[in-house]
Each structure stands twice: as structure tokens, then as C-alpha cells.
Amino acid sequence: MSTIDELFTNLRAAGRKALMPFITAGDPDLEFTARVLAEVVGRGCHLCEVGIPYSDPIADGPVIQASYTRALEKHVRLEQILEMLGGVIPKLTAPVVTMASYAIISRRDEEQYVDAVAKAGVAGIIAPDLPVEESAPLAKICAKRDISLIQLVTPTTPRERTLRIAETSTGFLYYVSVTGITGERKELPAELVDNVAWLREQTALPICIGFGISDPEHVRMLAPVADGLIVGSAIVRRIAAAADEPREAVLKNIGNYVSTLLSELSVA
């Protein structure tokens, strides 16, 4: 059983749902990334997604794209990110997964990439641009090292293909809530709950919903049908303030924000 499998087994047994913040590695610097990880986990978040900056991000909206650009302008490298994660993950009580374009993974070599993230203590890999038809080799490598390979389903994914993705994913299934890019939204699609409810009947794999989730109302809407909720742009936007504001104040703001979402999640 992988670390992520164990987490969701325990959460389900307790009747609880997971909150997973997304954090861009290296924005504004890796030292602050480590501090944000410690802050959100200390507030009670159940797992964390760390974005590996890439010059041509897949499906990321302007907030996350800008954070990637800022990190790349400071020449943040994969090796530095993994070194940072290797130092902070052993101190956390929540698993960490990486979101990285498959171009980054293949450039390094699949086996070498998985070995490197495993050495850093990473529990799972998300490669949003890796088609399910081409995922078997990476899935095999991940399975040997108890690393989850988390794959994405979108609202436009045909149901037959959705089932194939669910069958080949491990850890959890990442359900993209909207057609489009990441970013905070006031409203989510009305059919989202029904779509996830259908998927829940097709697979025992935990389902985590991401894209657009940013306020307590979204938590109240989605927690009944999801195993976890992923919050990205709302947190990345708050992190961006560290360029101009005192870092302690920014950390407190981020912590208070996730605490608000967690309070809604605990009663959902």
C-alpha cells in the first residue's frame, strides 16, 4: 500500500475528506516554498501538490503561469527542487505529489525521474500531458517504487476513456472540474456534482476535484461527492504577495485561508 493509498484508506474510515493545496516550487524562492508546505500541513491539509515550473505549462491559467515564469526567471532547477523537498518532506505529516509536464520527466528519463522523486520522499506523480495510452511504462516504474501515478479526467473525456484512465491510475483520480484552464471561479458547472457522482459508481479509486475551487461554497458543494479537493490559484495568488509584503504576514494569510476551507470540509 502506497503512502497515498494509506492516507485515503484512513480518511474514508474516519468519514473525512482531503484538502490538497497546490504550490509552485521556487516562487518566490525554494526556502519560502518549504515554509508554505510546513504552514499548510501544520494547519491540517492532508496532502500537497508541488508544481515543477515549466515554460509551456499545460492547462494552467494566468496566476499559475506567472508563478512558473517568476521561478524560471530565478533559474530554479529540478535538482534544487528535489533537494528542497528531500529536506522538508520528512518533517511533514502529509504526502507530497509533484505536478510536472511529461517533457520534464522524459528529458531526464522516466526511471531516473521516478528514482529522484522517490529519493526526495515524493509519494506521487502527476503528468497532465501524458496520454493514458502511453502511460504504461511510467506506471510500471512507479509501481515498483510505491509511487502513485495520478491521472486526469476532464468534463470532455468520453466515458469509455474515463473508465480506462480510472483503471490505470493509482493513488487517486484527478477530476478536472471545468473545461478550460486553472483559475479562481465564482461558480462551478452545475453538472459537476452529477458527473463526479457517476464516476464514483464506476471506480473505488479516490476522486479529488481540482480547477476553480477557491471558496467555502465550493467546498460545501463538492465535498459530499469527492474524496478530496485541490486548491491552486487561490493559494498561488496569495504566495505572490511575498514579493512585496512581509513573509510572516503572507504565511499567516495562507494559513488562515486553508483553515477556513478545512473548517468547511470538516462539517461537509
| Residues assigned a catalytic role | 49, 60
User: How far is residue 191's CA from residue 74's CA, in Å, rounded to a whole number?
Assistant: 41
According to DSSP, residue 243 is labeled: G
By the 8 A CB rule, do 177 and 189 touch? yes
In sequence order, the β-bridge partners of residue 207 are: 173
157 contacts: CB under 8 Å, gap ≥ 6: 165
By the 8 A CB rule, do 258 and 239 touch? no
- Give the chain's count of helices (H) and strands (E): 12, 9
Burial 115-130 (b: 16+ CB within 10 A, else e): ebbbebbbbbbbbbeb
Q: Is the peptide bond before 28 cis (omega within 30 degrees of 0)?
A: yes
242: cell is 511575498
User: How far is residue 214's CA from residue 59's CA, in Å, rounded to a whole number?
Assistant: 17
User: How far is residue 268's CA from residue 247's CA, in Å, rounded to a whole number?
Assistant: 32
